[in-house]
């Protein structure tokens, strides 16, 4: 295995930048470490000599950042099983057995949804924080709809 292939296999971005500058100074060089990391992961997805788990990891790394992967289409399902995409979700349930109260439940759910959207927009996705913000929004909307004495929800 060549030194360059070993560095690619190891994922050593800084050493790869130096090796590329030395081996091919006449070719375009990555301007930043972040750019070099993208190039390294793309090269790993294309290298048939690379161990598949490393190619799969680089495919996931690129996909998470909405960057193109060089992994052949026939290998993508296998790579995605090895490194599945993690998706977070929030469940909000508000309802009433009384149909006259449906608009109230809808308003409360809307306030809770907005709180979740604000949390995610701010990059705060920890479940405990999101839940706390949802409950604060729920209480505030309940007070807005029913006044200070409003409806008391169980805990």
In a 13 Å sphere around the CA of 87, the CA atoms on its Cβ side amount to 3
Please enumerate, as own/partner, the contacts of 54-62 that have beta carbons within 8 Å and a separation of 24 or more.
54/9, 54/11, 55/79, 56/82, 56/83, 57/83, 59/83, 60/85, 62/38
129 phi/psi in degrees, rounded to 5: -65, -45
**What pLDDT was estimated at residue 131?**
95
Is residue 131 situated within a structural domain? yes
User: Which domain range does residue 67 map to?
Assistant: 3-82
Q: Are residues 70 and 26 in the same domain?
A: yes
**What pLDDT was estimated at residue 155?**
45
**What pLDDT was estimated at residue 134?**
96
Average predicted confidence (pLDDT) for the chain? 90
pLDDT digits (tens, 9 = 90+) for 119-141: 999 989 999 999 999 999 999 99
Count structural domains, the chain.
2
66 phi/psi in degrees, rounded to 5: 55, 40
Residue 1 pLDDT grade (very low, low, confident, very high; cuts 50, 70, 90): low
**Which of 51, 82, 113 is the endpoint of a domain?**
82
pTM of the predicted model over 0.75: no
**Which of 54, 82, 110 is the endpoint of a domain?**
82
Q: Are residues 12 and 71 in the same domain?
A: yes
């Amino acid at each position: 295995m060549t030194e360059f292939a070993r560095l690619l296999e190891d994922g050593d971005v800084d050493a790869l930048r130096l090796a590329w500058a030395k081996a091919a100074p006449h070719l375009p060089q990555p301007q930043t470490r972040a750019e070099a990391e993208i190039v390294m992961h793309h090269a790993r997805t294309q290298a048939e000599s690379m161990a598949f788990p490393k190619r799969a990891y680089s495919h996931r790394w690129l996909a998470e950042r909405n960057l193109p992967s060089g992994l052949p289409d026939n290998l993508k399902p296998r790579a995605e099983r090895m490194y599945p995409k993690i998706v977070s979700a929030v469940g909000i349930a508000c309802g009433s057995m009384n149909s006259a109260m449906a608009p109230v439940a809808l308003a409360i759910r809307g306030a809770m949804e907005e709180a979740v959207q604000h949390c995610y927009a701010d990059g705060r996705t920890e479940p405990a924080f999101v839940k706390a913000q949802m409950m604060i929004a729920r209480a505030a909307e309940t007070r807005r709809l029913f006044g200070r004495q409003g409806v008391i929800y169980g805990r």
